[in-house]
A and B are shown apart, each in its own frame.
Chain A
Amino acid sequence: MVGGLFIIITSQNYLKKVVGLAIFQTAVFVFFVSLAKVLDGTAPILTKMANAYSNPLPHVLILTAIVVGVATSALGLALVLQIYKNYETIEEKEIESLELKSDK
């Protein structure tokens, strides 16, 4: 989780920022799924063998969150592509210097 956040903050490359965001989100998904585990629990399917079931709800929530995460990453990558088409670079520093030049 912290690793993903670190990448977002420190990297100068927009593509790396999107990847960092994906890592950050995935870490949160794993956190959710780990909440669902019940000791000695099995998958929540009705059988005579099982005496405890893991909680299925967090998995369902995360299924939704994964879809949201995919959409976020896709939009982020599309924006990076557009930025590259317009500026011919995706390095934050180079774009900043380009903008400073165009402002003058």
Chain B
Amino acid sequence: MFDIFLDDAPALVVVLPLLISAIIAFMPSKIWPWMISIITLLLHLFLSLHLLKEISVSGLIIYEFGNWEPPWGISFKIDGVNIGLQLLFSIFVLVSTFYSRKIFLNEIDYRDSGKAYSLWLLAVGSLNGIILTNDIFNLFVFLEISALASISLIALGAGQNRKALLAAFNYLIIGAIGATFYVIGVGFAYAMTGTLNMNDLVIQLAQYSDGQLAIFAGMSFMLIGLMVKAAIFPVHIWLPPAYSYAPSAVSTLLAALATKTILYFFVRLLYEVFIIYPSYLSLFLDFVLFPLSLLAIFIGTVIAIYQDDIKKLLAFSSIAQIGYITLAFSLKDHIGVVSGFVHIFNHALIKGGLFMAVGYFAILYKDRVTLNSLKGFGYKYPITSFALLICGLSLIGLPLTNGFISKLYLFQALYTNEMYFSIALVAVSSALAVVYFWKIVEQMWFSEIKFKSEKEDAYIYLPIWIITISIIVFGLYSTPIIEFSNLSADYLISGYQN
């Protein structure tokens, strides 16, 4: 009987959270919405593992909704490119949901917890849809569901600080402009090819191999729209306020996964569909994405140094880290794409861990965490502080942590492309990352005030340490991450088409 469900696993990983979110929306209870979410996400993880098993046998799953064949119906595609991301997504969401309960109880009214978890599952389901979908219009729908759900979640932070409302509103306006740009691009592509399915799009576009203005315009619109959503440098302005004024649990989920899934689709569009116009692709990568990534790395890091508010500091460092990822992807070769995917995995863990630790501090301190407020926290709350320290060292890229693996691959990729200036810039901004992280460490451990250690909540530090230990484990034994990234790059770069 169970097999019937397993056949539909690709649809269920998306539909299950969306369905359950409708059910728990109006539960006034404190604990049930969280319990049901955890059970749902355990099932979600089980389905993801089942998909991994299927993929390791067959290598490709195309799931057709309602058995409509691909050029007409909507389809999901699971292959070597996204299975790794799917697994990471499933595990991280489960851990952060476990973490979120005590945080939500502290930050929002408990009567709202049903609605909060409803939005939470809505965001989870739609972000997962972005990972799996094989249809460019379907992507827009998921993009908007996830944006609306996360905007509402960010606005929940208004109980803490009313600036959350302004942050959510700006995200809404800028995000909606980005999504609408993307739709214009889809319109152009559809007008020229008559198809929305990504595999079919490649076949149809091949007949315009000499290039058509309408297609290039459409491609540019789509890419710009996605760049806004993925917070790539000049259009990132919505991100820092949105992440820093959202409730702590929400910033954990968004910082770790929301931009990553969109970046993944951005890369997939570039290397799977637009690759048939090599001249356009290299024009975009060399003269748009590459310089913007360098600027993002440098400016993001420098602004982060001058931040007093820790969550804002982390948000600006996210801008720089997204820059590292896009820099790797703009290199157009196998090792570049591998290092991009490696950093997607590693940065999701690092930023997730950092935001979790800082979120816990915000609750202990009962106010926004600034540099001054962290005085002596290293002695007061040693367990969480030590996790924060490890995550921070990994962000800088010290050996024994997974951040080091990311940096190693990025340097290797840049070195094989003989981009010595970029190597220097990445090295300098890593050094600057030491500056802003040291400011935190100094306040936490080296201020005059000494505190006795206080009791910490195991429900909160347990998930933080799960992430921290995984950071160390992947730093020492990085084979799984490298394998998955290699698999993704193999599929994308070899011009693989169904």
Given known A5-B177, A24-B177, contact A99–B163 (CB-CB < 8 A): yes
Considering only CB atoms, which chain B residue lies closest to A64 in the complex?
B141
Min Cβ gap A5→B in Å is 7
Question: Which of B169, B180, B183 makes the CB contact (< 8 A) with A80?
Answer: B169
* A 35-87 contacts with B by CB, 8 A: 35, 58, 61, 64-65, 68, 71-72, 75-76, 79-80, 82-83, 86-87
* A 2-52 contacts with B by CB, 8 A: 5, 8, 14, 17-18, 21, 24-25, 28, 31-32, 35
Contact across chains for B168 and A79 when beta carbons are under 8 A apart? yes
Question: Is B286 an interface residue when CB atoms closer than 8 A count as contact?
Answer: no
Chain B residues near A86: list those with CB within 8 A: 158, 162, 165
Question: Is B173 an interface residue when CB atoms closer than 8 A count as contact?
Answer: yes
Q: A68-B140, A86-B165 are in contact. List 9 more A-B contacts (CB 8 A).
A: A18-B173, A21-B177, A31-B187, A71-B148, A75-B172, A79-B155, A79-B169, A80-B169, A82-B158
* Measured CA separation A17–B175 after assembly (Å): 13
Chain A residues near B180: list those with CB within 8 A: 24-25, 28
Min Cβ gap A3→B in Å is 14
Contact across chains for A25 and B176 when beta carbons are under 8 A apart? yes
Give the interface residue-count category, chain A.
20 to 34
* Measured CA separation A14–B15 after assembly (Å): 35
Chain B residues near A65: list those with CB within 8 A: 140, 183
* Measured CA separation A31–B151 after assembly (Å): 27
Chain B residues near A58: list those with CB within 8 A: 187, 190
Q: List 19 A-B contacts (CB under 8 A).
A: A5-B177, A8-B177, A17-B173, A21-B173, A28-B183, A31-B187, A32-B187, A35-B191, A61-B137, A71-B144, A72-B144, A75-B152, A75-B172, A76-B169, A76-B172, A80-B169, A82-B158, A83-B166, A86-B158
Chain B residues near A82: list those with CB within 8 A: 155, 158, 165
Considering only CB atoms, which chain A residue lies closest to B137 in the complex?
A61
Contact across chains for A83 and B173 when beta carbons are under 8 A apart? no
Chain B residues near A79: list those with CB within 8 A: 151, 155, 165, 168-169, 172
Question: Is B423 an interface residue when CB atoms closer than 8 A count as contact?
Answer: no
Chain B residues near A72: list those with CB within 8 A: 144, 148, 172, 176
Chain B residues near A21: list those with CB within 8 A: 173, 176-177
Contact across chains for A83 and B165 when beta carbons are under 8 A apart? yes
Chain B residues near A71: list those with CB within 8 A: 144, 148
| Interface of B: prevailing SS | helix
> Sorted from nearest, which 8 A-B pairs have the closest CB atoms?
A86-B162, A68-B144, A79-B169, A35-B191, A83-B165, A32-B187, A72-B176, A82-B165
Min Cβ gap A36→B in Å is 10
Chain A residues near B163: list those with CB within 8 A: 99
Contact across chains for A35 and B158 when beta carbons are under 8 A apart? no
* Measured CA separation A21–B165 after assembly (Å): 18
Question: Is B62 an interface residue when CB atoms closer than 8 A count as contact?
Answer: no
Question: Is B27 an interface residue when CB atoms closer than 8 A count as contact?
Answer: no
* Measured CA separation A18–B190 after assembly (Å): 28
* Measured CA separation A61–B165 after assembly (Å): 31
* Measured CA separation A44–B137 after assembly (Å): 22
* Measured CA separation A8–B144 after assembly (Å): 19
* Measured CA separation A17–B172 after assembly (Å): 11
* Measured CA separation A95–B163 after assembly (Å): 10
Residue interface bits B171-210, CB-to-A below 8 A is 1, else 0: 0110011001001100100110000000000000000000
Residue interface bits B56-92, CB-to-A below 8 A is 1, else 0: 0000000000000000000000000000000000000
Residue interface bits A85-101, CB-to-B below 8 A is 1, else 0: 01100000001000100
* B 103-157 contacts with A by CB, 8 A: 137, 140-141, 144, 148, 151-152, 155
Min Cβ gap A101→B in Å is 13
Chain B residues near A61: list those with CB within 8 A: 137
Contact across chains for B187 and A87 when beta carbons are under 8 A apart? no
Contact across chains for A87 and B169 when beta carbons are under 8 A apart? no
Contact across chains for B173 and A75 when beta carbons are under 8 A apart? no
Considering only CB atoms, which chain B residue lies closest to A80 in the complex?
B169
Chain B residues near A76: list those with CB within 8 A: 169, 172-173, 176
